[in-house]
Amino acid sequence: GENVEQHPSTLSVQEGDSAVIKCTYSDSASNYFPWYKQELGKRPQLIIDIRSNVGEKKDQRIAVTLNKTAKHFSLHITETQPEDSAVYFCAASSYGGSQGNLIFGKGTKLSVKP
C-alpha cells in the first residue's frame, strides 16, 4: 500500500522568509496530492492540491511542485506571515478498497516568528 513520508516535522522561519515542506510517496499509481493546513484546535482545511498531469501549481503565496519520476512533491510558501503558523499535512491518493482513499503524512509544524 501507499506510504507517505513528510519532512521536516518542525520548521521555524522568520516572517517574510520562504518555507518548504517535502513529501515522498511509494505508490507510483498515486495521482492526486492535496495539502491541508490545520491551525491549533481547528479542523484540517485544503489549501492547494495537484494532480499528476501537472508539475507545478500556484495560488498566490503558496505553490506545490510534483516530481512523479522521483515520487516526491513539495509545498512552498513565500513571504511567510504569522498567520501561516499551523500544522501542514501532505497526502497522496491510494487505491486500496473499492474507491481508494488518502494517505496522510505525519505533519509539519510551521512556526513563523514576527
Give me the residues that bind another protein (CB under 8 A), please.
Answer: 6, 9, 31-32, 34, 42-46, 49, 51, 89, 91, 93-94, 97-107
Nearer to another protein, 14 or 53 (CB): 53
SS3 letters across 26-94: CCCCCCEEEEEEECCCCCCEEEEEEECCCCEEEECCEEEEEECCCCEEEEEECCCCHHHCEEEEEEEEE
DSSP state of 9: S
Contacts from 45-53 at CB under 8 Å and sequence distance 24+?
A: 47/88, 48/75
Nearer to another protein, 14 or 60 (CB): 60
Nearer to another protein, 12 or 18 (CB): 12
Give me the least distance between CB of 83 and another protein, in Å please. 19
Give me the least distance between CB of 21 and another protein, in Å please. 13
Give me the least distance between CB of 60 and another protein, in Å please. 18
